[in-house]
Structure 1
Amino acid sequence: MRRTCLLYQSDRPIPYLTAWQWQKQLVEERKQARRDGQDLSDVLLLVEHPAVYTLGQGSSLEFLKFSPDAPNIECHRIERGGEVTHHAIGQLVAYPILNLDYHQHDLHWYLRQLEEVIIQALAKFDVPSQRIQGLTGVWINQAGQNKKIAQVGIKVSQWITMHGFALNVNMDLSGFDRIVPCGITDCQVCNLNQFVHDVEIEQVKIAIAKTFAQIFDLELQFYAID
């Protein structure tokens, strides 16, 4: 019998700080349940955020092209790994809250599985994508140049996961001009709609959810975020 995963999604943008707090609450609930000898279902949040920048816990400020205290730019340092990245409407962000006791106690395996979810979901749109050795995320080769379409950054505490990945669908990519994406000086980014015209983010949500369930062998239960 497959393990249950609660899928929460919304048709409106969710503020970054709201989703961050949800994740922390979900993780703590699962830690407490384990201490009580209980088990709670895995969770997948699929959301969009208004424009925001996030820095990994060890990320260098040199990769910002603005002051982190700038009043007109939302920017947060968070507990995930990785460097600075950008979220905005038109980008699908996935936050899996998984108990790796029921999967594998292997962070490299987990990262590769998240990348595989993205790769297989893009394949459903007939878009080939790939990993690049030594780097985290998913890339598309366009006219001989690798461009990043998805960013991956996680935090795992007592084998409970949080944070996850972001897939560029039809967002305004100009926000990446304010940073050195993922700390890679020559990193170019791209959107799915450059390869699949008129693609809607709802279509991508379905593809990601189904692929996620297959990769992690989960049974999804769907819930809408009010």
Structure 2
Amino acid sequence: MIAGTLVGTMRAGLRRRVATLNIQGLVPYSLAWQLQQKLVAQRIVWQKEEQSGFDAMLVLEHSPVYTLGRSAKPGDVKFPLVEGTGQGGRGFEVFKTDRGGQVTWHGPGQIVIYPVVDLTHHKKDLRWYVRGLEEVVLRVLALHGVEGQRDEKHTGVWVKEQGPEGEELTKVAAIGVSASRWVTCHGLALNVDPDLRAFESIVPCGVRDRRVGCLKTLLSPHVAAELTTAQVRYELMEAFEDVFPSMELCVQEKKDQLKGTVDEMVLEDEEREDYIFVTDGTEQNVHHCQGLLRAFLPEKKRAGKKMVEKESNFPDKTHQEIL
């Protein structure tokens, strides 16, 4: 059962809180990424100081954006990248990230979940965690009478559809994860009702011979007409708790759209040069303000700066990833 506040209820001390922000509107990728960085850094500090703390999660939809993972290849993008602007096909932004995997698209109609979870409190196994994220999506699809499946060669969730040459596997959910000192970031993206034309400009997740689909096209017209992304958000959160019983989601609704700066939500603003736009054959550092949501910090910690890693959001460079 999802708790309605940050405090939540711990069952005999066995369940770890996951402070979950359900964000309305469209969230710029850069903002969601900087929030993840801060949340990861805070949990690493708690880990080093042997403090219990709690986990966190962002639930949102992005403004249209292409993201490139660590395994992305030049041929995965079918459009020229505008030098020095971070702009690409159809005017969408393009970001290089530290997640596993190759190229994907995020945008309206696609629900993204970013769990920032310290696996030392659960199970120190990234493949177990990724398979769990796949299971979350499989259970949500099953709620709507859709049979999803895994693919041993490709991470994500797939469904069988009739294609031009007969039955084929179509991808409805992408998963890309990275972790530092067993603290995770990035997560899963489920296509509910996005503009699938955006995927035509890339090789989604490096898979050239399969299409990308969405949940609504798998449903009957009258059922699809009633399905909302708001409904599926909560189905995903409920399924997450079921799949990971050691975690308890404590949900806060953020009804105002996050955009521009995060001045109202940060402990401190500081410029960094560690975010990279991909350009035409070069990489250009772009300044981004860092911010940490007040909602994710214990009250007694808000005045301090000890939790902020000045040199790196991923200290000791013990970085792991799932491709």
TM-score of the superposed pair, with normalisation by structure 1: 0.97
Contact 1:14 1:50 in 2 (8 A): yes
Contact 2:168 2:210 in 1 (8 A): no
Report the structure number with the largest CA radius of gyration.
Answer: 2
**Residue 158 in structure 1 maps to residue 171 in structure 2:** no
In the aligned structure 2, how far is the partner of 1:8 from the partner of 1:184? 32
In the aligned structure 1, how far is the partner of 2:140 from the partner of 2:18? 18
Count of aligned positions: 226
Determine the structure 1 residue equivalent to 2:252: 223
* Correspondence for 2:92 among 67, 73, 78: 73
In the aligned structure 2, how far is the partner of 1:73 from the partner of 1:201? 22
Determine the structure 2 residue equivalent to 1:202: 230
Per the TM alignment, residue 111 of structure 1 is displaced from its structure 2 partner at its CA by 1.0
Per the TM alignment, residue 39 of structure 1 is displaced from its structure 2 partner at its CA by 2.0
Contact 1:180 1:187 in 2 (8 A): no
Q: List aligned pairs for 1:38-49, cutoff 5 A.
A: 38-49=51-62
**Letter of the aligned partner of 2:92 in structure 1?**
I
**Residue 58 in structure 1 maps to residue 75 in structure 2:** no
Per the TM alignment, residue 73 of structure 1 is displaced from its structure 2 partner at its CA by 2.9
Q: Deviations over 1:6-65 (max 9, x none)?
A: 111122111100000000000000011112221221112110001100000231121000
**Residue 122 in structure 1 maps to residue 145 in structure 2:** no
Per the TM alignment, residue 121 of structure 1 is displaced from its structure 2 partner at its CA by 1.3
**Residue 148 in structure 1 maps to residue 148 in structure 2:** no
In the aligned structure 2, how far is the partner of 1:10 from the partner of 1:106? 29
In the aligned structure 1, how far is the partner of 2:210 from the partner of 2:116? 29
**Letter of the aligned partner of 1:6 in structure 2?**
A
**Letter of the aligned partner of 2:213 in structure 1?**
C
**Letter of the aligned partner of 1:7 in structure 2?**
T
Per the TM alignment, residue 69 of structure 1 is displaced from its structure 2 partner at its CA by 2.9
In the aligned structure 2, how far is the partner of 1:190 from the partner of 1:182? 13
In the aligned structure 2, how far is the partner of 1:48 from the partner of 1:206? 13
TM-score of the superposed pair, with normalisation by structure 2: 0.68
Per the TM alignment, residue 105 of structure 1 is displaced from its structure 2 partner at its CA by 1.1
In the aligned structure 1, how far is the partner of 2:40 from the partner of 2:132? 20
CA RMSD of aligned residues (A): 1.1
Contact 1:3 1:41 in 2 (8 A): yes
Determine the structure 2 residue equivalent to 1:97: 116
Percent identity, aligned pairs only? 38
Contact 1:30 1:39 in 2 (8 A): no
Determine the structure 1 residue equivalent to 2:26: 13
Which deviates more, 84-93 or 57-66?
57-66
In the aligned structure 1, how far is the partner of 2:37 from the partner of 2:74? 24
**Letter of the aligned partner of 2:232 in structure 1?**
V
In the aligned structure 1, how far is the partner of 2:71 from the partner of 2:131? 21
**Letter of the aligned partner of 1:223 in structure 2?**
Q
In the aligned structure 2, how far is the partner of 1:37 from the partner of 1:110? 23
Specify every segment of 5 or more residues in structure 2 that has no aligned partner in the other structure, as ranges. Answer: 1-10, 257-323
Per the TM alignment, residue 201 of structure 1 is displaced from its structure 2 partner at its CA by 0.3
* Correspondence for 2:211 among 188, 199, 214: 188
SS at match of 2:233: helix
SS at match of 2:145: coil
**Letter of the aligned partner of 1:213 in structure 2?**
E
